[in-house]
Structure 1
Amino acid sequence: MFEGYTLAELGSIFAMQGFAGLILFSVFVLMALGLAIIFGQMGVINMAHGEFLILGAYITYFTSNFFLNHIPALFSVYFFVAMALAFVGAGALGMLVEWAMIRHLYRRPLDTLLATWGLSLILQQFYRSVFGAREVGVELPQWLIGSLPVTDVIEVPINGLFVMALTLMITIAVGVLMYRSRWGKQVRAVMQNRVMAGAVGIDTEKVDRYTFGIGCGIAGVAGSAFTMVGSTGPTSGQLYIVDTFLVVVFGGAQSLLGTIASAFVISQAQSTMEFFLSGSMAKVLTLLTVVGILMLRPQGLFVLKVRR
């Protein structure tokens, strides 16, 4: 696999692929954070999570066009407006879905899987009918275009650095929200003992709705970041949903730290192997490795210890 490369060339390849893996890691983390909240904290298998990401991407695309055509003087800051709109739009749709469908299916994981898979197909067809089947790309502001030279052969794209910085800020915000806020304590109380949480005055239905909405809203922000690294189409979200579930399960369904650690391991492994092998073979080897580890440690890398 490494034949024909000098040590210097291999060093440059691993450095470039390592940074590409960090960009993929950022997208994985943004998607997996929302999924970890929904799946890990609520036990809901949301197969439509990728479609919430694509909703955020489409919102970013139309926000970009609106600023470009109507407020060109402010085009350089449109992305921050787009992220806020993507969070609100995807979060509002998530709360609607929770109220209309998910709340009737709690403690029935197979039913939530089938129902959200059907919702995924509905949303894909809706996007295809409203936005068209053609993939679209977002025009980036000038300050996000270009790259920074690290060495003579290695350059780092500026938009990749921005996506990583965005991921870091959102990860910190989610950590503070889940472990330092009153709402986070209520979410963990409902997760550990719903009946007792209700008995002490916590509105469990409200906690469920806001939890699902925030998880979907984070997916919307991930969609905004996704527009910087790929084109947007009605089925683009399905390209990441399996990898995202793999990240959440491998890291430990109820551990945000495990989600981040597994996203890093999987993204770096895929990015490096894709250079030397085909993309499909890289995914197969990554999947086989993760499955093998999960057979030895089925609870994932990190486990939330709860007193029973």
Structure 2
Amino acid sequence: MLSGYSFNDLASIFVMQSFAGLILFSVFLLMALGLAIVFGQMGVINMAHGEFMILGAYTTYVCSYIFAQWMPALFGLYFFIAVILAFIVAGTVGMFLEWSLIRFLYKRPLDTLLATWGVSLILQQIFRSTFGAREVGVTLPDWMMGSWNLSETIQIPINGMIVIAITLLITIVIYGLLYKSGWGKQVRAVMQNRTMAGDVGINTERVDRFTFGLGCGVAGVAGAAFTMIGSTSPTAGQQYIVDTFLVVAFGGTESLGGTIASAFSISQARSILEFFLSGSMAQVLVLLTVIGILMLRPQGLFALKVRR
């Protein structure tokens, strides 16, 4: 697999593929953060999580079109506005879904799985009817194109660095909300003992709604980031939902640090292996490795220790 490459070639390949893995890691992490909030904190298996990512991607696409047609002078700034709008749109739809459906299915994981799978099919059809079945892509501003030449053989895409920066910012904000704010304490109190949290005055229904909306909103931001590395289609979210569940399960469903470590290790392994092998073979090898580790440690890499 490594024959025919010099040491300098291999070093350049590993640096380039590692950075490509960081871009994939950014999408994985944003998706997994949203899913970890919904699944890890609330116990809801949201099979429509991928469609919330695509909702954010289509929001970015529409924002790109509007700025290109009617506000060309501000086109260079549209992506940052699109990220905010993607979070708001996906989060609002998520809160509506929690209010209209999910709140009736708590503590019924199989029912939430089937219901949200139906929601994913409905959203896919809405996307298909609105935007068509073909893939669409956004137009990036000129300043986001090109790459930074680290050396003669290593080039770092500028849009990739922007995606990584956005992911870092979102991760810091999520950490602050969950572990450093009063609202985060309420979320963790509801997760640990819903009845007791309600008895001490916490509005558990409001906490559930905003928590679900936050998870879906972060998925929308992942969709905005996704537009910078791939085209958007009604079914594109299904390509990432399995990987996202894998990241969350591998890292530990209730561990933010585990989610980050899991997303990083899986994305880096896939990116490097895809250069030397086919994409499908790389995914199979990573999947088999993760399954083997989960067989030895089914609670995930960084599961929280609890009293039993």
Scaled to the shorter chain, the TM-score interval is over 0.9
Partner of 1:260: 260
Deviation at 1:305, TM superposition (A): 2.5
Deviation at 1:6, TM superposition (A): 1.7
Partner of 2:207: 207
- Aligned partner of residue 148 in structure 1, secondary structure: strand
Deviates more, 1:7-16 or 1:263-272: 7-16
Q: Which whole-Å CA distance do the structure 1 matches of 2:150 and 2:88 have between them?
A: 37
- Aligned partner of residue 156 in structure 1, secondary structure: strand
Q: Aligned pair 1:56/2:60, yes or no?
A: no
Q: Which whole-Å CA distance do the structure 2 matches of 1:286 and 1:119 have between them?
A: 29
Deviation at 1:141, TM superposition (A): 1.1
Pairs within 5 Å for 1:115-134: 115-134=115-134
Partner of 2:3: 3
Pairs within 5 Å for 1:223-234: 223-234=223-234
Pairs within 5 Å for 1:155-194: 155-194=155-194
Pairs within 5 Å for 1:1-308: 1-307=1-307
- Aligned partner of residue 225 in structure 1, secondary structure: helix
Q: Which whole-Å CA distance do the structure 1 matches of 2:30 and 2:108 have between them?
A: 26
Paired residues, number: 308
Q: Which whole-Å CA distance do the structure 2 matches of 1:82 and 1:250 have between them?
A: 31
Q: CA RMSD in A?
A: 0.8
Deviation at 1:110, TM superposition (A): 1.1
The TM-score, its normalising length taken from structure 2, stands at 0.99
**Post-superposition CA distance 1:89-120 (Å, at most 9, x none):** 00011011111111111111111111111111
Q: Which whole-Å CA distance do the structure 2 matches of 1:188 and 1:153 have between them?
A: 48
Deviation at 1:142, TM superposition (A): 1.5
Q: Residue type matched to 2:165 in 1?
A: A
- Aligned partner of residue 156 in structure 2, secondary structure: strand
Q: Residue type matched to 2:209 in 1?
A: R
Deviation at 1:7, TM superposition (A): 1.7
Gaps of 5+ in 1: none
Deviation at 1:220, TM superposition (A): 0.6
Q: Which whole-Å CA distance do the structure 2 matches of 1:74 and 1:11 have between them?
A: 40
Q: Which whole-Å CA distance do the structure 1 matches of 2:35 and 2:158 have between them?
A: 27
Moved over 4 A (4+): none
